[in-house]
Structure 1
Amino acid sequence: MFENLQQVGGLTAMVVDDDPQLRALCRALLERDGWSVIEAADGAKAVELARDQPPDVFIMDVMMPGMDGYDATRALRADMMTANTPVVMLSARVEPDAVIAGLDSGADEYLAKPIHPQEFVLRMRAMSRLRRASRELERSYERLGEQSWALNCLLDFTTALSRAETLEAVYDRMLELAIAMTACRRVMIAISVDNGDLDVVRASRREDMMAGPIARVGTICGEAMASGKTLLVEDDEAAATWAGRPDFDYVSETPSVAIPIKSRDQSVGLICACGRVGQRPFSPQDLEYLELAAAYAASAIHMIQTSKARDAARDAIVVGLAQLAEHRDDDTGKHLERVANYCVEVAEALREDAPYNRIIDDEFINNIQRAAPLHDIGKVAIPDAILLKPGRLSTEERDVMRMHPVVGAETIRSLMAHAPDSAFLRMAEDITHAHHEWFDGNGYPRQLKGEQIPLAARIAAIADVYDALRTERIYKGPMSHDEAVQHILESSGTHFDPVVVEAFYRRHEAIERLATHLSDRKSAVKRHRPTHVAWANAQVEPSSDDADPSSMASPARVDEQAT
């Protein structure tokens, strides 16, 4: 009856029962459904086997000689390796006390003996889904941990660069970061000199420092510099194609990588690394972090040479960190730049009247322009399967997506630990944490209401949604300017602060010009009659439907993923 349902495949179940016939029945049902099966005749044996062969699901009998199912389940829950592995408990006892005892010991399911084959298979499929979800969550936490570590490394690096007053200090920090992030035994930093050659300015090995300049012509480093693109040599076969070059040593121990240091689209140097510990391959994200580091270093070098290091390096940090989140979505384009400029327009409009003329000064304008691009930095923690999903998100996926303001705020707070007096970072935290809050309290993640929402976040919310509405994505077409303005006006008092909406409306023509000037592509968008003119003339109160976020006439997922 259930043969046509999708099989599990790729997962392992451990059947723990002192009855060999029941074990055989479970094995037959499970293997037919794509499971691999391990057997154990008692609880103690199951605990022992699980240390060497941890399964994806346990099927645990209750009454067994020696260690019974209750004690075995408790032992598995106490072990870090099996603490989160689902347990399905089997027993002929089905009275409430027995079921409660089983669940209290740590079981996830409780099935009665004799087992019903169809129910058993379907329950196990449910456990497989639970296990896969648990694994994905664990992987997400691992990725978040790796990303947090990398971001902190980059933060320390950029903080050091902002304080560096000499090129020598920049080179020192570059070498330290490259060694840490590549885990390579051999790392060197080379900088272009006036005659076009590359001078090795820092290296992890003394021999490389003493080797002399590297020619730009006929060398591996020279070709990487000329292309301006990262050169990745993944294995010995790939390395062999470079044999005979004067600088072959720099790529001979695979995997190896050469990353240009580019300033204003010109390669000014190179980071080379080879001999990675464990020969672990470089992942695309490893390379992205290294390329970001190279970009920061290039910025610091250029600014020191032009006596403007600190301010410009800080701006580069903002752009780099924001792009780390946005880079994963190929459709974002100039989203960050547009949102920043829209925020400035709205803030300038608010500044014209009391009481905001006492709150919004030049520093506020400058800070919001640099802080707004960080609004979605928390998306580094969102799995690609959710972030890039072309259709509507499920409830579970939406809950994961709604964690990105919290993750983003935590990331900004970690930056603030290194710069506690930074008003710009304080504003970035406000925007990151609260740009999905609604003025009527129906937003997320904290359900803030009214002026509980920081002013900068109330401004950024409108800028972000307007740009999302105007932008074409794989899951929706773009709105015209008039349609987007009308949507925002209709959301006044529900999604958005009415005062900020008025300021937005006063500048909507300038905002439309910015949207056109900074558009990702030129496309013909049908213009509709500007129905928002009636709103401007009548100033009617929002309808009762606007109080319900689910009733708003907006494209799917604008407030979940597009912004």
Structure 2
Amino acid sequence: MTTKSLPTLLIVEDSPENRMLLIHLLKDSYRLKVAINGEQALEVVQLELPDLILLDIIMPGIDGYEVCRRLKAEPSTSKIPVIFLTAMTDVADEQLGFEVGAVDFILKPVSPPILLARVRNHLLLFQLLNNLKNQNDILDAKVKERTEELEHTQDAIILAMASLAETRDNDTGNHIRRTQHYVGRLATQLMHHPDFCQQLSLANIALLEKSAALHDIGKVGIPDAILLKPGKLDSAEFEVMKEHCRLGRDAILAAETVMGKESAFLCYAKEIAYSHQEKWDGSGYPLKLVGDQIPLSARLMALADVYDALRARRAYKPPMSHETAVKIIIEGKGTHFDPRVIDAFIVIQHEFEEIAEALKDALPDE
């Protein structure tokens, strides 16, 4: 083994005789750094981190206890094992030493076999702990990588499922992405509102934004003759169209049943799919829910969906301006929409306009 590959020990000892003895006993097995007092020891450590420190307690200036305290207070040196060298045998002295962070004591006069055994054992333990930490870090990194991979896969599957429904009556999948962003921004604006702060954590907002993609998944069950009809639906056709809320909820419920347990994401997805056509005054569908009976997730989705529908270009209508869409939505305060959600929308309406512009649908000849 080369000298450079040997473990490095720092000997901190003010007695020349004791220093020479320690150097003599350890020089053949370890790289040695030497300090004659506490101040010098702290300087040496800043230049090169040793693998273990043999630290005298009684020294002029900073004593060993204080040196150990300072070492343990710094993240870069806190893990270095410190063995105290002392002639003190009082239990209180040992207790203080362990409290400031030492791993062991070696009594003076030093016994060579004990010194060599203690140093070897603590270096081995330190190495094993480092190896374990490294293995845990590697495992954590792999788990994180796998989790991110699964999340990306889940996102892709969700978008694909949503697009199956969306592209039947919509030329692009941008509607899905836009409404997801709208829901996320509304929720973020409301997260500090006293009525909603318990529901709208950052984690829940992320789930809300993701689950918003499935709001119209039930459209896959609506006949093309109704779904793609260019004109206004008659009353019978509209009753069929309204079924997309139930169909969407039932599809998500079936997925949840296969999983065998409830999921926060699927719970939000069910709420949004089933209730995003409800209105604050009870005139919506499918259950004519009123006010706070409507899940918050669905109230957010309702506004996002209407704004996007107003701004979108369709074969039967030109797109409305942002200003016109905002005016129509504000007129629905307290009737179609939760007044508190409207208030949040007014504050961040410019962000809706930015999202609509950034993710606008391409024109047919583009």
State the TM-score, normalizing by the size of structure 2: 0.58
- Structure 2 residue aligned with 1:415: 255
Q: Would you tell me which structure has more strand in proportion to its own residues? A: 1
AA aligned to 1:361 is: S
- Structure 2 residue aligned with 1:397: 237
- Structure 1 residue aligned with 2:351: 510
**Contact 2:163–2:173 (8 Å) recurs in 1:** no
Please give the per-residue CA displacement for 1:398-425, whole angstroms capped at 9, x wherever unaligned: 1110110000000010111133231000
Given the alignment of the two structures, is residue 388 of structure 1 paired with residue 228 of structure 2, yes or no? yes
Given the alignment of the two structures, is residue 458 of structure 1 paired with residue 302 of structure 2, yes or no? no
Higher relative contact order (CA 8 A, sep 6+): 2
Given the alignment of the two structures, is residue 345 of structure 1 paired with residue 203 of structure 2, yes or no? no
Distance in 1, matches of 2:314 and 2:304, equals 17
- Structure 2 residue aligned with 1:29: none
Q: Which runs of 5+ in 2 are unaligned?
A: 1-141
AA aligned to 1:476 is: K
Taking only the aligned residue pairs, the percentage that are identical comes to: 44
Q: What does 1:170-319 correspond to in 2, within 5 Å?
A: 307=146, 308-319=148-159
Distance in 2, matches of 1:475 and 1:522, equals 15
- Structure 2 residue aligned with 1:186: none
Match of 2:362 among 521, 534, 545: 521
- Structure 2 residue aligned with 1:440: 281
Distance in 2, matches of 1:478 and 1:515, equals 11
RMSD, aligned CA = 2.0
Match of 1:326 among 166, 176, 193: 166
Please give the per-residue CA displacement for 1:360-386, whole angstroms capped at 9, x wherever unaligned: 001211111110010000000111111
Q: What does 1:474-489 correspond to in 2, within 5 Å?
A: 474-489=315-330
1:522 Cα offset (Å): 6.7
From the superposition, tell whether residues 332 and 442 of structure 1 become closer, same or farther in structure 2 (CA, over 3 Å).
Answer: farther
Distance in 2, matches of 1:485 and 1:403, equals 28
AA aligned to 1:344 is: G
Distance in 1, matches of 2:232 and 2:172, equals 18
Given the alignment of the two structures, is residue 361 of structure 1 paired with residue 201 of structure 2, yes or no? yes
Please give the per-residue CA displacement for 1:192-223, whole angstroms capped at 9, x wherever unaligned: xxxxxxxxxxxxxxxxxxxxxxxxxxxxxxxx
Given the alignment of the two structures, is residue 378 of structure 1 paired with residue 225 of structure 2, yes or no? no
1:324 Cα offset (Å): 1.2
> For 2:186, what is the secondary structure of its paired residue?
helix
Distance in 1, matches of 2:248 and 2:273, equals 6
AA aligned to 1:383 is: P
Match of 1:406 among 246, 264, 269: 246
AA aligned to 1:398 is: F
Distance in 2, matches of 1:359 and 1:427, equals 12
Q: Would you tell me which structure has more helix in proportion to its own residues? A: 2
- Structure 1 residue aligned with 2:27: none
Q: Which runs of 5+ in 1 are unaligned?
A: 1-302, 524-563
1:504 Cα offset (Å): 1.1
AA aligned to 1:340 is: Q
- Structure 1 residue aligned with 2:67: none
AA aligned to 1:411 is: A
- Structure 1 residue aligned with 2:20: none
**Contact 2:278–2:284 (8 Å) recurs in 1:** yes
Distance in 2, matches of 1:505 and 1:331, equals 29
Please give the per-residue CA displacement for 1:12-48, whole angstroms capped at 9, x wherever unaligned: xxxxxxxxxxxxxxxxxxxxxxxxxxxxxxxxxxxxx
1:466 Cα offset (Å): 0.2
Query: Which 4+ runs in 1 deviate beyond 4 A?
Result: none
**Contact 2:207–2:264 (8 Å) recurs in 1:** yes
> For 1:358, what is the secondary structure of its paired residue?
coil
Aligned length: 221
Q: What does 1:29-178 correspond to in 2, within 5 Å?
A: none
AA aligned to 2:349 is: H
Given the alignment of the two structures, is residue 493 of structure 1 paired with residue 334 of structure 2, yes or no? yes
State the TM-score, normalizing by the size of structure 1: 0.38
1:309 Cα offset (Å): 3.0
Please give the per-residue CA displacement for 1:129-187, whole angstroms capped at 9, x wherever unaligned: xxxxxxxxxxxxxxxxxxxxxxxxxxxxxxxxxxxxxxxxxxxxxxxxxxxxxxxxxxx
1:444 Cα offset (Å): 0.5
Q: What does 1:10-25 correspond to in 2, within 5 Å?
A: none
- Structure 2 residue aligned with 1:431: 272
Please give the per-residue CA displacement for 1:484-529, whole angstroms capped at 9, x wherever unaligned: 0000000011111111111111110011111100101379xxxxxx
AA aligned to 1:424 is: F
1:330 Cα offset (Å): 4.0
Distance in 1, matches of 2:338 and 2:363, equals 32
